[in-house]
Structure 1
Amino acid sequence: YITENGCAVDEAVTDTRRIAFLEGHLGALRTAIDAGVDVRGYFTWSLTDNVEWIEGASKRFGLVHIDYETLRRTPKESYAWYRDVIRSQKAPRTVESAD
């Protein structure tokens, strides 16, 4: 399992650097899986912006932007990008007949 893989960037909702970061890491992960590495799961870091011990609230870590004054949540471009990546990897469901 790969947990908490992500990056802190100063970009708000348009976070192209995060998309590039994730795209590179997921590409390397695909290469590893194709080579036989047993990967059971991948979790990006983090779903929402948060406050870190060292960085405080100065860096944005999440796929969802949080306005710390209003607490309004806005999905970032990386959110939509990652959603689409997940959808493209999902195996179609098969429907079994009830005979």
Structure 2
Amino acid sequence: MIGITLVSHWFLPFSRSKSNDAAARRAIDFMFGWFMDPLIRGDYPVRMRTLVGNRLPKFTKEQSKLVKGSLDFIGLNYYTANYAHHLPPSNGLNTSYSTDSQANLTGVRNGVPIGPQAASPWLYIYPQGFRDLLLEGANVKAYLAWSLLDNFEWGNGYTVRFGLNFVDYNNGYKRYPKKSTHWFREFLKN
């Protein structure tokens, strides 16, 4: 079985407006769709292609055919959600990945965080976003000729500890290898 694990946040409109609704959709396209769409459609999201223009590489017909459907499963790491506020086009000035989506992202609206803040300053606990990404995945299923989503592997990212070692904050920051450390060591040996 060959697959890929994507990382995506969920994005909500900063306020009820067509421009912020569109900004949230663009943010999803630029984080989730950027990688998912080529795997299921053979090309980047239309909104992304429109905004980035000729700076975004084009798939040849052969490349598109090769990448489309080229996996057995998809994993998903979800950690947080953000609000998306419409950002006007940069009109070619300082154009970059960070301005292409024309979305300003934040975890706080009117002084209120989207959810409880975890240990990392960018990480807000917003479990509904995981459900919404699952529904986004269900929408992806409409693109498929077979039931690829039946093989999705969904993972929950609600932890504040990352890495291959557990760090004991109460005992001089002593480190203990996790099971994944041992697995990774064996993988590298082979």
TM value normalised by structure 2: 0.28
Structure (1/2) with the larger strand percentage: 2
Larger Rg: 2
